[in-house]
Amino acid sequence: MAKEIIQSDNAPAAIGPYAQGVRVGDQVWFSGQIPLDPVSGEVVSGGIAEQTEQVMKNMGAVLAAAGLDFGQVVKTTIYLVDLADFTVVNEIYGRFFPAAPPARATVEVAALPKGVSVEIEWIAHDDA
């Protein structure tokens, strides 16, 4: 099976040598998104709520570039600098998965790129 690179100009450009997403067959693996504004490339202002909202918007943009939506996400991993932010992140995240949410892990980490508080990576299934 051929490897297809997924790229969206509506999400932040990669800040290293990686693809926003990679499709192989009917599986699509997405690199972690952090709360960067796709136009400025800067971290969005505000706290964990604003950062999480931006991450979810970035996820939606990269999913759309792959011809997918949140309903096709089968697994996510949320990385948090402070697990005390879990409740806020969970509430915002849940709005994007109102039915049949994906499997998920949430992990507290020491630090994330650019000093952000949240990063989310995911896997989707292209059932088209």
pLDDT tens digits in sequence order for the chain, 128 residues long: 899 999 999 999 988 999 999 999 999 999 999 999 999 999 999 999 999 999 999 999 999 999 999 999 999 999 999 999 999 999 999 999 999 999 999 999 999 999 999 999 999 999 86
Query: Dihedral sign, CA of 56, 31, 8, 41?
Result: positive
Q: Which domains does the chain have, with CATH numbers?
A: 3-125 (3.30.1330.40)
pTM as predicted? 0.96
**What is the 3 state secondary structure string of 33-82?**
ECCECCCCCCECCCCHHHHHHHHHHHHHHHHHHCCCCHHHEEEEEEEECC
Token readout for 125 is 């299934």
